[in-house]
């Protein structure tokens, strides 16, 4: 019999009933865990909307420069460019630290803002940078899209940056949602946004409903019968060798029609039901279980090995060779691993930043979210052990070839780890 214990390690899901109830009882304010950052909070439909808004509020325009981290997603870069400003990358080290000396060198009379991204739940110490920005008359913007709950306690004081942006669908089962938090109050900011687009919100609900269903009993059986999860298949079905610096996916680019909207009622309602304490604890626990479980495998190196008490992980990021091969194998096992920020924003000077290129090519993110339990984490650990056995022996150019056959059948029966089903 197919049960909930079906090894489904996809993203968080949400049922239809919960969505409708949340939409009907949506409060007008965002929950207090965001307000604790001490600024004016403006709900938006995405992180990109928050970036475009801040660019309008700070009146960035053609000829202005914004210093951006060389290790970036690309979505944030295009949102900045949409204002006419020019992004100028500064160095991020292989350990994900900001090279402050490089920032200082790159500030010119055209620099209007420094954009900082907190990576994977680890907050940079902004003391020096905030002082430098104040001294040079430059705005400081922090991107907390992938570090939502980290450093909350230390944010009880007034924010150091002039603005912070957030993105919620990376953390919870919500169809849309982001926020802009401004250090100083600005009047009429919400009126700069259009109301939510209902057809778009409905479309964005569908993957959440599917995820909730896949985690349930009956649909698990349907999934097995109907084959696989199309999302995973799409991610691994390219037939052609990838170019050495492929463009980022099309939907990462900024689109004024899609992005300049307010947050949907469904998301407002769902955010107010989040139990932050339990969520943070579960993510930290899953992260640690996973890290310990795979710590003896030489083929993979976690980007960092410790998590501060005040840090909430989004994923467990690893460096691997042959990343596409790993992805193909993990997806076959229904594990929603991500080739993190694969794809390059086309107009940046990537040759200057080999460490960031290595991160772009090699970081693999494993899920640790709040809907995964011991059983799923154990499944991920066993899968990693299995895959490592083969990936270490894979040809060096395997990373370029995305269409890779599953390896599990090649694994000698005698050496295969027992995976509960």
Ligand X SMILES: Cc1ncc(COP(=O)(O)O)c(C=O)c1O
Give the contacts of 37 (CB within 8 A, at least 6 positions apart).
152, 155, 159, 164, 181
Residue 297 or 316 having the CB closest to ligand X: 316
Q: Smallest gap, in angstroms, from Cβ of residue 43 to ligand X?
A: 12
In terms of Cβ atoms closer than 10 Å to its own Cβ (0-12, 13-18, 19+), residue 323 is buried
Q: Smallest gap, in angstroms, from Cβ of residue 97 to ligand X?
A: 16
Q: Smallest gap, in angstroms, from Cβ of residue 147 to ligand X?
A: 9
CA 47 – CA 44 distance, rounded (Å)? 7
Binding ligand X (rule: CB under 6 A), the pick from 70, 167, 286, 362 is 167
Residue 14 or 315 having the CB closest to ligand X: 315
Under rule CB under 6 A, which residues in 136-165 are in contact with ligand X?
A: 143, 145-146
CA 297 – CA 388 distance, rounded (Å)? 7
Three-state DSSP class for residue 148: coil
Q: Smallest gap, in angstroms, from Cβ of residue 370 to ligand X?
A: 19
Choices 42-50, 102-110, 184-192, 195-203; region in contact with ligand X by CB under 6 A: 42-50
Q: Smallest gap, in angstroms, from Cβ of residue 326 to ligand X?
A: 20
In terms of Cβ atoms closer than 10 Å to its own Cβ (0-12, 13-18, 19+), residue 219 is middle
Residue 92: what are its φ and ψ, rounded to 5°? -115, 135
Nearest residue relative to ligand X (C-beta): 47
Binding ligand X (rule: CB under 6 A), the pick from 89, 178, 216, 313 is 178
Choices 17-25, 31-39, 44-52, 365-373; region in contact with ligand X by CB under 6 A: 44-52
User: DSSP label at 247?
Assistant: B
Q: Smallest gap, in angstroms, from Cβ of residue 392 to ligand X?
A: 30
Nearest to 283 by CA among 239, 316, 252, 241: 316
With binding defined as CB under 6 A, does residue 282 bind ligand X?
no
Q: Smallest gap, in angstroms, from Cβ of residue 3 to ligand X?
A: 33
Nearest to 311 by CA among 154, 155, 157, 147: 147
Residue 117 or 370 having the CB closest to ligand X: 117
Choices 31-39, 69-77, 84-92, 127-135; region in contact with ligand X by CB under 6 A: 69-77
Binding ligand X (rule: CB under 6 A), the pick from 47, 87, 89, 196 is 47
CA 94 – CA 359 distance, rounded (Å)? 7
Residue 200 or 221 having the CB closest to ligand X: 200
Torsion of CA 280, 42, 317, 71, to 10 degrees: -160
Nearest to 141 by CA among 211, 79, 234: 79
Angle between helices 374-391 and 323-332 (to 10 degrees): 140
Give the contacts of 47 (CB within 8 A, at least 6 positions apart).
75, 76, 143, 145, 165, 166, 167, 178
151 backbone φψ class: left, alpha, beta (φ>0; ψ -120 to 50): left
With binding defined as CB under 6 A, does residue 42 bind ligand X?
no
Residue 261 or 331 having the CB closest to ligand X: 261
With binding defined as CB under 6 A, does residue 48 bind ligand X?
yes
* CB 176 within 8 Å of CB 198: no
With binding defined as CB under 6 A, does residue 356 bind ligand X?
no
Residue 55 or 377 having the CB closest to ligand X: 55
Residue 146 or 155 having the CB closest to ligand X: 146
Give the contacts of 324 (CB within 8 A, at least 6 positions apart).
236, 242, 339, 398, 399, 400, 401, 402, 404
With binding defined as CB under 6 A, does residue 174 bind ligand X?
no
With binding defined as CB under 6 A, does residue 73 bind ligand X?
yes
With binding defined as CB under 6 A, does residue 117 bind ligand X?
yes
Binding ligand X (rule: CB under 6 A), the pick from 6, 65, 76, 386 is 76
Q: Smallest gap, in angstroms, from Cβ of residue 382 to ligand X?
A: 29
Q: Where on the chain is the footprint of ligand X (CB under 6 A)? A: 46-48, 73, 75-76, 117, 143, 145-146, 167, 178
């Amino acid at each position: 019999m197919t049960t909930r214990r079906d090894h489904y390690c996809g993203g968080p899901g949400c049922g239809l009933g919960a969505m409708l109830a949340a939409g009907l009882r949506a409060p007008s304010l965002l929950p207090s865990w965001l307000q604790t950052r001490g600024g004016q909070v403006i709900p938006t439909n995405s992180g990109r909307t928050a970036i475009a808004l801040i660019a309008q509020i700070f009146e960035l325009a053609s000829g202005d420069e914004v210093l951006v981290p060389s290790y970036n997603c690309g979505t944030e870069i295009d949102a900045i460019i949409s204002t006419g400003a020019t992004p100028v990358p500064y160095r991020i080290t292989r350990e994900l630290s900001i090279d402050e000396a490089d920032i200082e060198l790159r500030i010119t009379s055209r620099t209007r803002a420094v954009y900082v991204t907190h990576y994977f739940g680890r907050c940079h110490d902004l003391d020096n940078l905030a002082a430098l920005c104040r001294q040079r008359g430059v705005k400081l913007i922090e991107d907390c899209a992938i570090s939502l709950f980290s450093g909350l306690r230390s944010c009880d004081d007034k924010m150091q940056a002039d603005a912070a942006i957030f993105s919620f669908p990376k953390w919870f089962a919500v169809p849309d949602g982001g926020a802009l938090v401004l250090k100083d109050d600005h009047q009429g900011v919400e009126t700069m946004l259009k109301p939510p687009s209902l057809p778009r919100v409905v479309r964005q609900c569908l993957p959440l409903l599917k995820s909730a269903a896949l985690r349930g009993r009956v649909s698990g059986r349907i999934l097995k019968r109907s084959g696989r999860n199309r999302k995973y298949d799409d991610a691994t079905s390219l037939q052609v060798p990838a170019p050495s610096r492929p463009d980022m996916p099309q939907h990462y680019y900024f689109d004024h029609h899609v992005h300049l909207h307010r947050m949907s009622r469904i998301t407002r309602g769902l955010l107010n039901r989040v139990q932050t304490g339990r969520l943070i604890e579960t993510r930290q626990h899953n992260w640690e279980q996973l890290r310990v479980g795979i710590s003896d495998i030489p083929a993979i190196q976690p980007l960092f090995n410790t998590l501060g008490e005040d840090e909430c992980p989004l994923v467990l990021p690893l460096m691997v060779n042959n990343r596409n091969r790993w992805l193909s194998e993990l997806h076959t096992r229904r594990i929603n691993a991500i080739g993190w920020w694969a794809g390059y924003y086309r107009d940046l000077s990537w040759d200057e930043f080999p460490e960031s290129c290595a991160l772009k090519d090699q970081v693999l993110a494993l899920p640790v979210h709040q809907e995964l339990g011991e059983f799923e984490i154990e499944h991920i650990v066993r899968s990693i052990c299995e895959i490592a056995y083969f990936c270490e022996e894979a040809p060096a150019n395997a990373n370029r070839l995305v269409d890779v056959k599953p390896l599990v059948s090649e694994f000698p029966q005698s050496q295969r780890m027992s995976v509960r089903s």
